Chain A
Amino acid sequence: MKRLLPYPSLTLVLWLTWLLLNGFSVGHALLGLILAVVLPLGTRPFWPQVPLVRDRMGLLRFVLRVAKDILIANMAVAVKVLGPVKDLQPGFVEVPLDLRDRFAITVLTSTVSLTPGTVSADVSEDRTRLLVHALHVEDPAALVAEIKQRYEGPIKEIFEC
């Protein structure tokens, strides 16, 4: 079973994606199932070791929190964008990383980029620091603390790392 389905959840997601794209019918269910089994096998060498999700409720809470932050931050950034440009204080901020796992770091950097006002610009070679560009930052230390506490902490909890 493990040989045939190395990534069961990937197979499930691929199958659902196929059905959502093409509509639900027996034919597409079969075709989608075949693809969902074959594709993970074919792309196996390219997949990193993905850590297990330990805390499913935590994952849900995290997604909701990020959605809420996107909403609120969008408003704040909209005001900044429309306001006087010369009052902006953009800045590069370095965030020391506690996460070690590649996949978990990817989740963190994507989250930082999706929430308006911050874009993750680079991760250091040894994966210990994250460079973030903020559109408007008055207190860099506070931004670092916020990213660590609001996003990195929960991600650490969710994945086993």
Chain B
Amino acid sequence: MDVLIEWLVAIFVVVGGIFALIGSIGLARLPDFYTRLHGPTKATTLGVGGTIIASLLFFSWQERGLQLHEVLITLFLFITAPVSAHMLAKAAMHRDLKRMKGTQGEPWKQ
């Protein structure tokens, strides 16, 4: 059983880490502000999600009881992340930041 839990925790940590990394790579590689905005939304969902499940499993196993702190982290992140992304997008449109070539559609005037 111990080995099984260890494997599960390891898998979730690695998966979470990979997605957080991909989110950061996205921030570095993508060409304009709007596309870069998509990086952090990935990192907060699967990246943090994977890490949190790993943490939940690990501490629940170690301390022989369900640990639910992590559920709160998820809850707060899922409430706050879209709001900050929304505000960033609005600010970007207000400042009329340049868009990547080939972007379809138009942002709204603020």
Contact = CB atoms under 8 A, between A and B. Distances in A.
Interface residues of B, number: 42
Contacts, number: 121
Given A81-B29, A119-B37, A135-B35, A91 B89 contact: no
Contact of B106 (A21, A90, A92, A116): A92
A133 B33 CA distance: 11
B103 A91 contact: yes
A57 interface: no
Interface residues of A, number: 36
A35 interface: no
B43 to A, nearest CB: 10
B45 A92 contact: no
Contacts of A133: 34, 37, 89, 107
Contacts of A116: 38, 41-42, 45-46
A137 interface: yes
Contacts of A120: 82, 85-86, 89
A61 B103 CA distance: 34
A73 to B, nearest CB: 9
A10 B85 CA distance: 25
Given A20-B69, A88-B35, A131-B108, A74 B82 contact: no
Contacts of A112: 82
Given A78-B22, A82-B22, A92-B103, A21 B29 contact: no
A140 B45 contact: no
A81 B25 contact: yes
Contacts of B69: 20-21
Q: Looking at A17, A89, A90, A117, which has the most chain B CB atoms within 10 Å of its CB?
A: A90
A95 to B, nearest CB: 11
Nearest to B39: A81
8 contacts: A74-B46, A77-B38, A78-B19, A89-B102, A89-B104, A92-B104, A119-B89, A133-B107
Given A116-B38, A120-B85, 4 more contacts: A74-B42, A77-B26, A121-B86, A121-B108
Interface of B: 19, 22, 25-26, 29-32, 34-35, 37-39, 41-42, 45-46, 49, 68-69, 71-72, 78-79, 81-83, 85-86, 89-90, 93, 99-100, 102-108, 110
